[in-house]
Amino acid sequence: MARPNPSDALDRALTAALAGQAPPAGSEDTDFAGLVEIALALRGLPRADFRDALSAELSPPIVPHDLREAVKNLPPLHLRSLGTLDRATIGVFTFSGSAPWERHPDGDELIVVLDGGGEITLLPDGDGEPIRAALGPGRLFVCPNGLWHRPVATPTMTALYVTPLIGSEHSWAEDPRVG
C-alpha cells in the first residue's frame, strides 16, 4: 500500500477548509490543524485597505507639473523625477561639464533644454565618426535607442528628459563602444 503523502493530505485539508467543508478524514493531525488555521488566517492578506493605501502611495499623483518650479533650487548634478509615460520616466536634471556616456537599448530618449546649453555627442554603431549637435534653451534632441550619447554643458544645462525606465547603461570610458 502506498504511503500517504503529507503534502497531499495538507492540500486536501486546505481545499476543504477554504471551501467551507468539513476536513477530510485523517486530517485531525494537530500539525495539519495548525497549518490549516494559519492558512485560513492568511487567505485575506493583504487586507483591501492595505492594498488600496499601498497602491495610492506607489502611484504618482495625477497633477500638472510646473517645470520652472521643478528646476528651481535643483542642485547641480541632480535629477528630479516628475512621473512616467508608458515605459519611460519623465524628469528634469541640471549639471555642468560632461555627463557620462549613456545609452538606452529599450527605447529612444528625448531631451529638451530649458536653460543653459552646450552640445550632445552621439556615437553611431561601429566605429563611425561622432555626431555633434548644439543644445540651447528650447532645443530638443531625440537619441535613437541603443546609441551611446553624452551631453556636455557649457557652463551649465538644465533639461527635461523622457528616458526608458529600464535597461540604461552608463560609461565614463573615452569611447564606450570599445571593449
Give the DSSP letter string of 108-177: -EEEEEEEEEEEEEEE-STTPPPEEEEE-TT-EEEEPTT-EEEEEEEEEEEEEEEEESS--EEE-SSSTT
Residue-level pLDDT at 19: 77
Provide the pLDDT for residue 161: 95
Joined together, the cell numbers standing for residue 46 give 493583504
Domains detected in the chain: 6-58 (no CATH), 67-171 (2.60.120.10)
Q: Return d(Cα 163, Cα 143) in angstroms, integer.
A: 10
- Give, for 102, the enclosing helix (H) or strand (E): strand 101-103
Q: Note the pLDDT of residue 159.
A: 95
pLDDT at 94: 92
Residues of the chain with pLDDT under 70: 1-4, 23-32, 60, 179
| 20 phi and psi angles, rounded to 5 deg | 80, 20
DSSP element (H, E) containing 79: strand 78-85
Report d(CA 161, CA 151) in Å as an integer. Answer: 12
In whole angstroms, give the CA distance from residue 166 to residue 59. 18
pLDDT tens, 44-93?
A: 777 788 877 777 777 767 788 898 899 988 888 788 989 888 889 999 99
Cα maximum dimension of the chain: 83
CA distances for 67 relative to 94, 124, 160, angstroms = 12, 32, 8
pTM: 0.65
Using only C-alpha atoms, the chain has a radius of gyration, in whole angstroms, of 28
Residue 156 and residue 74 in contact, taking contact as beta carbons nearer than 8 Å: no
